[in-house]
Structure 1
Amino acid sequence: MLFDEDILEHVRLVAREGDRSGEDRDLVEILTMHPEFDALWNDPSVDPSRPLEVGDVKVNPLVHVALHLVVSRQIRQGVPSQAKKAYLHLVERGENAHDALHLMMGCYGQLYFESVRKSDAFDESRYAQRLASL
């Protein structure tokens, strides 16, 4: 996963024009879940690929949306298999769907950025263990 200018431009296009092809169904859904980011995508004075104060929280909107995409696709595709199991477990436990995604995104994001900093491969088995512990 790369968080580059091409991805940012694609998110901006989808935020501005919506889903025209069906390929961006997940992205449209995620953008709908985060109306607090709406004004950021096409404001030339703001760089949504950098951490920003949004409400009371410091967040990188582009990274947040990208992590949503990764985890949503894992759940839908069942790869890794623990992703769908963890999601269903969290929802059955009483988490709302969005909060369940955020918990899973926390696991994935921490391990992903740790592997990038160390120039290591992403550790799927550690990720599976973290998901199982949710």
Structure 2
Amino acid sequence: MFTPSSDDVRRFFCEAYRKQRSGEILSPMDAIAADWIVQHPEYADVLSDAEAALARDYSVEGGQANPFLHLSMHLSIAEQVSIDQPPGIRAACNALAQRLGAHDAHHEIMECLGQMIWTSQRNGVPPDSVAYVECVRARCA
């Protein structure tokens, strides 16, 4: 299994943005990333300078949102929905998207995903995918 470093993730998004802007051929993953990048024009300056992106600190103490984490969560959710893993995430996402639109639905799902990861790490237990999907379903109501 591939476990990219934070620098790998930052390079990936900066490169996908560069390719998209210059009209180069995008890999399937680049294309998915570019679709989400387009929906976040506020990240353009960060993504335009890979070296600065690598040097930047997005610690909690800094109080600034990490655009690479945000975009990575969009990619994770898109992949989960595409393969319906965990089971039920596709239907829950689609229901939420009907109510809010796809982008806002992803942002709601991010809250549930973050909560699941935080709980797992805090308690030293595997992620609870059932609770995750239930959290998304609850946001549909």
TM range (shorter): 0.7 to 0.9
Residue number in structure 2 paired with 1:31: 37
Letter in structure 1 aligned against 2:106: L
What one-letter code is carried by the residue in structure 2 that aligns with 1:128? V
The answer (yes or no) to whether the contact 2:108–2:136 under 8 Å persists in 1 is no
Q: Which residue of 1 aligns with 2:58?
A: 50
Q: Which runs of 4+ in 1 moved over 4 A?
A: 44-49
For residues 92-111 of structure 1, the aligned pairs below 5 Å read 92-93=98-99, 95-111=100-116
Aligned amino acid, residue 13 of structure 1: E
Q: Calculate the aligned-residue CA RMSD, in Å.
A: 2.4
Counterpart position of 2:128: 123
Note closer, same or farther for the CA distance 1:76–1:112 as it changes in structure 2 (3 Å cut): same
Alpha carbons 1:87, 1:100 under 8 Å: kept:
yes
Distance 1:49 1:131, change over 3 A: farther
Instruction: Determine if contact 1:90/1:100 at 8 Å carries over to the other structure.
Output: yes
TM-score by length of 2: 0.77
Give unpaired runs (5+ residues) of structure 2: none
Give the Cα separation in 2 of the matches to 1:59 and 1:25.
23
Larger relative helix fraction: 2
Q: Distance in 1 between matches of 2:11 and 2:79?
A: 21
% of aligned pairs identical?
A: 24
Give 1:91 shift. 2.6
Residue 86 of structure 1 corresponds to which residue in structure 2?
92
User: Judging changes above 3 Å, is the alpha-carbon distance between structure 1 residues 20 and 37 closer, same or farther for their aligned structure 2 residues?
Assistant: same
More strand by share: 1
What is aligned with 1:6? 8
Shift of 1:98: 0.7
Asked if the contact 2:16/2:31 (under 8 Å) is kept, the reply is no
TM-score normalized by the length of structure 1: 0.80
Moved more, 32-41 or 73-82: 73-82
Q: How many residues align?
A: 129
CA deviations on 1:9-57 (whole Å, 9 max, x unpaired) are: 11111111235223322111111110100101233445566159xxxx9
CA 1:123 to 1:89, structure 2 compared with 1: closer, same or farther past 3 Å? same
